[in-house]
Amino acid sequence: MSGKGYQKYSIGTIAAITVIILLAGASAYAAIQNLIVINSSGNLHTTDNIGAFATYVDAVAGSPYLTNINWSTMYYGDNISRVLYLRNFGDKPLNLSLTTSNLVIDNTELTISNYMNISWNRENTTILRKQIIDATIWNWLHTLPTQYTGTVDFSFNATICAYD
């Protein structure tokens, strides 16, 4: 056609453009298929050697006790934080530490440090008698397990230890 606004293209040019579009679409589809969304949960265990320590969901440190942290859906590179409250209702100051264990992804137990870095702002902190303090726990998903695709569930245990 020789009308205004129309341009002539050869069959080869049209075929090349079509192939490029199809390859770009296939690459995008492959990238989407390799996306790993990790649905999550987390159990929080508290231990102390004198029976006078608990975790709570609010600053009043009344009920309910905090026993599970929901990390929501995490993507590669996410660094998600959760705030909890710690109460020493005993008569002695207590020192705090945090450990993690039992990372399970899609029903397979894995080494947590290979995939996540769990940290908090109260390591080696002393909580005084009758004191309530806030604590922030961070979960950084730094590596995705390559054997999974799609959406997978994970869970792990975080243990806060209070000792004198």
Residue type, 77: G
Residue 145: cis peptide before it, omega within 30 degrees of 0: no
Task: For 107-155, write each residue's pLDDT tens digit.
Answer: 889 898 998 999 999 999 999 988 989 999 999 988 877 777 777 888 8
Q: Can you give the residue ranges of every domain in the chain?
A: 36-163
CATH class of 36-163: mainly beta
**Pairwise CA distance, residues 42 & 103, whole Å:** 9
pLDDT for 148? 76
Q: Which of 58, 120, 113, 53 is nearest to 87 (CA)?
A: 53
pTM over 0.75: no
